Structure 1
Amino acid sequence: MMLVMLLIVAVALAACGGGKKEEAGTGTTDTGTGAALSGTIEIDGSSTVFPLTEAAAEEFGKENAGVRVSVGTAGTGGGFKRFIKGEIAMSNASRPIKDKEAEEAKAAGIDYKELEVAYDGLSVVVNKENTWVDKLTLDELKKIYGPEATAKTWADVRAGWPAEPIKIYSPGSEHGTFDYFTEVINGKAQESRNDKQITFAADTNSIVSGVEGDKTSIGYFGFSFYEENQDKLKLVPIDNGTAVVSPSAETIKDNSYAPLSRPLYVYLNTKALEKPEVKAFTEYYLKNVANFAQEVGFIALPQEKYDEQIAALNK
């Protein structure tokens, strides 16, 4: 009889604990309906912003194993093309959306939110063995990169420098970095020298290897790429007419590295926010991007800026 009573108690206890139990450490986020997040989020665009968004995607994925976040590097212009077609939920951008792109998005029925995520400073670099370039003025940069530029040797840029041919590297026209640099230095976005002296690279790493491999070369890209490769390249201070300044966390944040400091963006398709996984990832991004920015070589915005954007996202 005692054995029968024990069996009855055991069955009753099992029934009480028979509800579904969530395992600890599964790396999932509850959507509020008891279901874990799942789905795919596709992001494309700026190769400059890529490390920042990729870091967010990797960390978000650790906590949300059911969500796959794919991040491409088609360049800012290439990302906007896909974004306007409705092919991607988010677009990384190293410049603001152009008026023409905004009009095309409106015509296509794409409503979006512009999210500012970090600061960056365009870094001008030369080969480690270049001993003559101590700094460059904005006018000298235009002599090298401007649409009317004819400088073929370093002596053409500044008297007293060697008559060594300049090998010039630049991001390609699809890159927001190219847009920003040409607008600031040459006076108009997309206006650039285009002759045999210059190589336009689709991949920023090609600029790094090109400048590293040629003593007479010059190139430019985002500050994070310089930080990753500072052992291979020489950073050039910029004389902006007021001061001679090199890009650093401090000079980019306080904008003393003018005019080559800039904000970086992520553009979000508003309709995509209806998907729980997209909303969760966007909130995660904004709440944690300050830490990611520091890790990958960007400069974080003031915390109140992130807080404002999160609040606007939840309205």
Structure 2
Amino acid sequence: MRTLSLTTLALALPGMAFAQDAVQVDGSSTVFPVSEAFAEEYQIATGNRVVVGVSGTGGGFKKFCRGETSFSGASRPIKTEEADLCAENGIEFLEMPVAMDALAVIVNPENPLTCMSIEELKTAYETEAQGKIDNWNQLNTEYPDQPLTLFGAGTDSGTYDYFTFAVIGEEGASRGDFTATEDDNITIQGVSTDPDAIGFLGLAYVEENRGRVKPLEISYNGGDCVEPSTENAASGTYQPLTRPLFMYVNKAHLDEMPNVEDFAKFFFDPAHAIDLVSSTGYLALPEAAFTAAEKKIAARKTGSFFDGGSKVGVTPDDLLAAN
């Protein structure tokens, strides 16, 4: 992970003189590395402060739809009930695709397993597994007779929402007795120190911790095992755990706060946006997507393309259409 920066420090010490006038960003822990990278570069370029919080996708939308933040990073599309809350509070928003990400399933490096099927993951994490599935050999009789320790994203996280949607078939449906956390570093720590552990989180955090944890290849619908990678996310071969990442922008703040509009234009400027997104380990969208985003900001085009929830199999071309 990045070292503690002035961006994060501004969040930690809200009494600092610049914090009140800073651009307020919150939301997904998955999108946080992207938000932080842009905030740091923007602060260097302009001297204007950006405060980046990490409340999870759901927690971020709660703040955003109360008008407390100008930008909300999300690792899934906004839900219908969240959009309704925004509407009740008079918050119009722009939905801005930022990058493609792959969710990764990780185990301890001592675990000899290299691939799991989506069906096995469903058996491990589904609601019916609570209190019943607690051994590796219950997932597959060829797996060892070892206790199963489960980690994963917390229920306020878009990563949790998308994982349950893609793996279990129903967003928010899972067993409740696994270690669920909004802090991906807890999942990394837990899996890295327990040979019997398994967890799920965004791929960028895995790339930063290779050697401490091991990502598994995934088999979907009886197909070949496919490695989680930005290349496989881009090609659409890593399914169903490839997903888009978003930044939602408060329209009124764009209109009323010059620093908000300035940061939004900086964020989606293809001259540097593609390189900055790529530097965080995510798959940047093509230049045309950032150019379309610039036009969306200029036109103040509001609303969501996704009809209130996640979709499996979304490609960069789909996201270009969304702009």
| TM-score bucket of the superposed structures, by smaller chain | 0.7 to 0.9
Q: Which is higher, the Rg of structure 1 or of structure 2? A: 1
The residue type equivalent to 1:280 in the other structure is D
Mapping of residues 1-315 of structure 1, within 5 Å: 39-65=21-47, 67-131=48-112, 133-149=113-129, 150-195=132-177, 198-241=178-221, 242-274=223-255, 275-287=257-269, 288-315=272-299
Q: How much does 1:134 deviate?
A: 2.3
Partner deviation per Cα, 1:170-214 (whole Å, 9 max, x = no partner): 11100000000001111111110123xx11123110000000000
The residue type equivalent to 2:53 in the other structure is G
The residue type equivalent to 2:189 in the other structure is S
Give identity over the alignment, percent: 37
**Structure 1 alignment gaps of length 5 or more:** 1-37
SS of the aligned residue for 1:100 comes to: helix
2:87 and 2:277 map into 1 onto residues whose CA distance is: 31
Partner deviation per Cα, 1:15-61 (whole Å, 9 max, x = no partner): xxxxxxxxxxxxxxxxxxxxxxx941011100000000100000000
SS of the aligned residue for 1:113 comes to: strand
Partner deviation per Cα, 1:56-87 (whole Å, 9 max, x = no partner): 0000000111x110000100000000001100
CA contact (8 A) 1:77 1:176 kept: yes
CA contact (8 A) 1:179 1:189 kept: yes
Corresponding residue of 2:305: none
CA contact (8 A) 1:94 1:265 kept: yes
CA contact (8 A) 2:29 2:182 kept: no
Partner deviation per Cα, 1:249-270 (whole Å, 9 max, x = no partner): 2101111111100000000000
Moved over 4 A (4+): none
1:252 and 1:118 map into 2 onto residues whose CA distance is: 11
CA contact (8 A) 1:52 1:289 kept: no
CA contact (8 A) 1:119 1:252 kept: yes
TM-score, structure 1 normalization = 0.85
The residue type equivalent to 2:297 in the other structure is L
Please give the root-mean-square deviation of Cα atoms over the aligned residues, in Å.
Answer: 1.1
TM-score, structure 2 normalization = 0.83
The residue type equivalent to 2:203 in the other structure is F
Count of equivalent residues? 274
2:39 and 2:236 map into 1 onto residues whose CA distance is: 29
